[in-house]
Amino acid sequence: MQLRIVILPGDGVGPEVTEQAVRVLQELADIHGHVFHFEEHAVGGDAIRETGSPLPRATLEACLDADAVLLGAIGSPEFDHLPINQRPEAGLLSLRRSLGGFANLRPVISHAVLAEVSPLRPHIVAGTDILFVRELLGGLYSGEPRGIIAQNGSSSAYNTMRYSVAEIERVARIAFESAMQRRGKVTSVDKANVLETSQLWRTTVSRVAAEYPEVALDHLYVDAAAMHIITNPSRFDVILTENLFGDILSDEAAVIAGSLGMLASGTVGGLVDLFEPVHGSAPDIAGKDCANPLGAICSAAMLLRHTARAENEASDIDAAINLTLEAGYRTADIARGPGDYVIGCADMGQRITEALAEVADMRYAYHAV
Ligand code: IPM
Ligand code: MN
């Protein structure tokens, strides 16, 4: 298999974690005899510093030409003073729009070995396996009109939450199709008791559900969903929701996994799939080699699973992560007990790489007998 992967390290801890994800992908390519071509480009604050734009043309062209894009993180306090459309985040939003992926998949899994790490009680997080399907292009993020009006020394600001039936239908289908591969349940999250967009969301999702009789659908208001996610996360299979609700709820759900650093995401449905850890640039710990690269490494696994349809390779990464965590290796964000070996970002990448070789050996031994 040959894959052209554009790497966008971005800001803060982005370069550290993507470096480890690339290392893991390279090891996997060596083990399985694949050829992965990596091409690195600037995006976000990093690109503003280099070129003045958060999404330089060369970066976008390379991404459009690739089989998949793996991004680190975006955002830097250095550019907080800039207007919204010139900030590093504008580069990410415009990259997402140009690549066209509208369904952002965010799995949240409670690893048994990390159950103690979550601030939630272990019996609450045990067995949690949720897939968030977050609509990624519409809603408040891109609705027009938007702006700030300054008048008579006082200002007001406004954004528009807008969804069309077609936008809701296409992301709903991804949620139902994902549920068919999983435990057959979709929970659609909205605020249909207050918002017209949510009323349209609810009726459209219910109509699409009729095409998937094997899948059970229920609806929750977003405020109630926020509570249920934290009190009874194992009741969920697929959670389907609009852009901003999904942004907020997926960060909340990260506490189930033990740390935001554990979460991966993949955006599908467009011209080129985009993979990125859910965590941000974390400028406070950037450059200190203590970030958790597992979110980025799991994003690489998602790339293999969704874009390359390489399920064996992707599950090798999952197995290598499990082996490494079971052996007690932890980055600082997921370290708790006295039996933990606290290691840095690069060391974690190294451990996963070594565990991959072990996983491959085990598979070989299994097939040889
Ligand atoms: C995320 C991030 C982004 C978002 C930011 C960086 C624009 O928080 O991917 O969840 O809001 O979508
Ligand atoms: Mn977010």
Q: Does the structure show a pLDDT above 70 at 363?
A: yes
Please confirm, yes or no, whether 251 is among the known catalytic residues.
yes
Structure-token match 């740390």, residue found: 259
Burial (CB count <10 Å: 0-12, 13-18, 19+), residue 155: exposed
Q: Whose CA is nearest to atom 12 of ligand 1?
A: 247
Q: Which atom of ligand 1 is nearest to the CA of 74?
A: 6
CA of 89 to the centre of ligand 1 (A): 8
Confidence of residue 339 (pLDDT cuts 50, 70, 90): confident
Please indicate whether residue 75, judged by its CB atom, sits closer than 6 Å to ligand 1.
Answer: yes
Name the active-site residue from 11, 247, 273, 316. Answer: 247
Please indicate whether residue 74, judged by its CB atom, sits closer than 6 Å to ligand 1.
Answer: yes
Q: Does the structure show a pLDDT above 80 at 325?
A: yes
Confidence of residue 369 (pLDDT cuts 50, 70, 90): low
Please confirm, yes or no, whether 361 is among the known catalytic residues.
no
| Global pTM value | 0.96
Cis, bond preceding 107 (omega within 30 deg of 0): no
Please confirm, yes or no, whether 218 is among the known catalytic residues.
no
Q: What's the sign of the alpha-carbon dihedral 176, 179, 181, 183?
A: negative
